[in-house]
Amino acid sequence: MSGVRYYDIRHVQGQSTHIDIDNGVCESAASSFFDHAVIRALSRNGWGILTVDNFQEMGKGEIESLVSRAAAIASICSEDVSLAGPERGSRDVPPMGEDPRDVSLGEKTAILLDLEHSARIPGIINTRVNYIERFEKVVFQDSTGYENHYEICRSGFGIMAVAARNGTLQMGYERRHTIRGLNIRHQQDLAREAAGRAVSLLDARPARGGTMRAVLDPELAGVFAHEAVGHASEADLIQEGNSVLAGRIGEQIGSGVVTIIDDPSLYEFGFEPFDAEGSATGRTEIISRGILANYLHSRETLAAVGNGRAGHARAMAGEPPLVRMSNTFIEAGESTSDEILAECRNGILLKGSRGGQVDPGRGVFQFNAEYGYLIEKGECTTMVRDVSLSGEILKTLFSIRLCGNEVKMHQGYCGKGGQSVPVSDGAPHILLDHAVVGGSGDS
């Protein structure tokens, strides 16, 4: 393996189970099997990377040949790469309450059929439940002889209810995903909540677009932290010159009430015992009381850019690692929800999320609330639907006036570079001055 300065291999094998219940019909309840590996070799020219299936069956000789081939294809590269560290280490995977593998596919299907049925309230014309369970066994090894491994099971469900009246359709949606074991029992209230919201949304008005005060609930404020700050702090983008946060460490970029963290070592849905490069994971304070403090890093970006710690490299099974968020949240402040509504006085309360997107180089982001309420004289009044917000990273953080005193986390998946990884986002309620709200209504 001449010319190889370093190599590592991340091998992920496991089983995924997917159950789809649609309008009382079990459309599918199926398990699939996977075995993917990524071999990265660092040569004098840069990274050569191979991705292969069925690594389990390969012998020592084949592995050596894969490393050599990875190094050989790096001959087209021309980057002198340095790696920081390594800081090795691992956190235990927390125990599960009820191991999903101990419950038969048949029993899970029966529980989900009942859950889906609970959303059938008057006005609802379609209900659907999706369940996903993914068990992964991850083995990491590198050219120094270091090896580590873990096993983790992520599972959860989403429930959707569709309400219809006179050709108008609206939906309510709830999802819960976890690393703490089977979570589908006793969730009927959540199903009814999704259904109730779908029916209420039939009477909601489209929001009027414009600039106004907005209160974001913890789920939406978490998405805001993810889109407005998290992506732009990923140091691969900093290194490429594709983020408005480049060169601003130590600069006040937001109001003093704002502290934003990413922490893959937390026992939330984005938990990683160690990252995709075998680095120990831990807390990174991205923004500390309004001041840009750190970036999120891999070993390579830490060496090239500085400011922060490695341990934020993540990857889908069979894909090369990228700098990613994990569990991202705005830290709690001191205000109660009532104080925030009173302080807003006139504006809009926005709840739930269908996600968002950011252009980090331009510093502009967009994210979407499922629904909300007008706030008039400090009270929630008319329900509104389909409200998006957009903003500029370097301006919007100054408009956060208050942070609530209770953080809640919500689970989802984040896309980058064609890879989707499990994340959680969270925040307390927050009050924004000057929020740019998109909407075509006149309410």
Site for other proteins in 348-377 (CB under 8 A): 354-359, 361-368
Please answer whether residues 310 and 304 qualify as being in contact, where contact means their C-beta atoms are separated by less than 8 angstroms.
Answer: no
Question: Which tokens sit at 189?
Answer: 């209230």
* CB-nearer residue toward other proteins: 114 or 359: 359
Whichever of 265 and 324 has its CB closer to other proteins, that residue is 324
CA-based torsion, 358, 268, 259, 387: positive or negative: positive
Least Cα distance to 259 among 283, 290, 231 occurs for: 290
Beta pairing partners, 358:
365
Q: 1: closest CA among 138, 142, 139, 148?
A: 142
Distance between CA atoms of residues 174 and 159, nearest Å: 5
Query: Going residue by residue from 246 to 285, which x/- string records binding to other proteins, judged by CB under 8 A?
Result: ----------------------------------------
Q: How far is the CB of 170 from other proteins (least distance, A)?
A: 6
Nearer to other proteins, 263 or 386 (CB): 386
The token pair at 242 is 């594709």
Comparison of 19 and 402: residue with beta carbon closer to other proteins: 19
Contact pattern from residue 101 through residue 120 relative to other proteins, giving x for each residue in contact according to CB under 8 A and a dash for the rest: ----xx--x-----------
Task: Give buried/exposed letters for 147-169 (b at 16+ CB in 10 A, else e).
Answer: ebebebbbbbbebbbbbeeeeee
Selected binder of other proteins within 9, 115, 138, 171 (CB under 8 A): 171
Closer to other proteins by Cβ: residue 94 or 357: 357
Q: Shortest Cβ distance from residue 21 to other proteins (Å)? A: 9
The residue (of 55 and 274) whose beta carbon lies closer to other proteins is: 55
CB of 359 to other proteins, least distance (A): 6
Tell me which residues in 12-31 interact with other proteins (CB under 8 A): 16, 18, 22-31
User: C-alpha angle 399/422/132, rounded to 5°?
Assistant: 130
Residue given tokens 């997107």 in the structure block: 357
Report the residue number, 22 or 193, with the smaller CB distance to other proteins. 22
Task: Choose between 179 and 436: whose C-beta lies nearer to other proteins.
Answer: 436
Closer residue to other proteins in complex, CB, 24/97: 24
Q: Give dist(CA 319, CA 223) in Å, integer.
A: 25
- Judged by CB, which is closer to other proteins: 109, or 252? 109
State in angstroms the smallest separation of the CB of 172 from other proteins. Answer: 11
Strand partners, 330: 260
Instruction: Dig out the tokens for 5 from the structure.
Output: 């300065």
Q: At closest approach, how far in Å is the CB of 387 from other proteins?
A: 7
Structure tokens at 401: 């006036």
DSSP designation for 94 = P
Which residues in 176-215 contact other proteins (CB under 8 A)? Answer: 206, 209-211
Contacts of 97 by beta carbon, 8 Å cutoff, 6+ apart:
180, 181, 182
Taking the complex as a whole, the smallest distance from the CB of residue 150 to other proteins amounts, in Å, to: 20
Task: Please state, in angstroms and rounded to a whole number, the distance separating the CA atoms of residues 341 and 431.
Answer: 8
Site for other proteins in 128-157 (CB under 8 A): 128
443 binds other proteins (CB under 8 A): no
Among 164, 190, 332, 342, binds other proteins (CB under 8 A): 164
Binding residues for other proteins restricted to 45-104, rule: CB under 8 A: 46-54, 56-57, 69-70, 73-79, 81
Where does residue 88 rank: exposed (0-12), middle (13-18), buried (19+ CB within 10 A)? Answer: middle
Of the candidates 341, 298, 349, 346, the one whose C-alpha atom is nearest the C-alpha of residue 321 is 298
Binding mask 375-404 for other proteins (x = CB under 8 A): ----------xxxx-x-x------------
Closest contact distance (angstroms) between CB of 144 and other proteins is 22
Q: How far is the CB of 134 from other proteins (least distance, A)?
A: 11
Nearer to other proteins, 132 or 291 (CB): 132
Q: Of 35, 87, 343, 433, which lies in the binding site for other proteins, with binding defined by CB under 8 A?
A: 35
Which position among 240, 334, 338, 376 is part of the footprint of other proteins (CB under 8 A)?
A: 240
Mind spelling out the 3-state secondary structure of 393-422? HHHHHHHEEEEECCCEEEEEEEEECCEEEE
d(CA 91, CA 369): 35
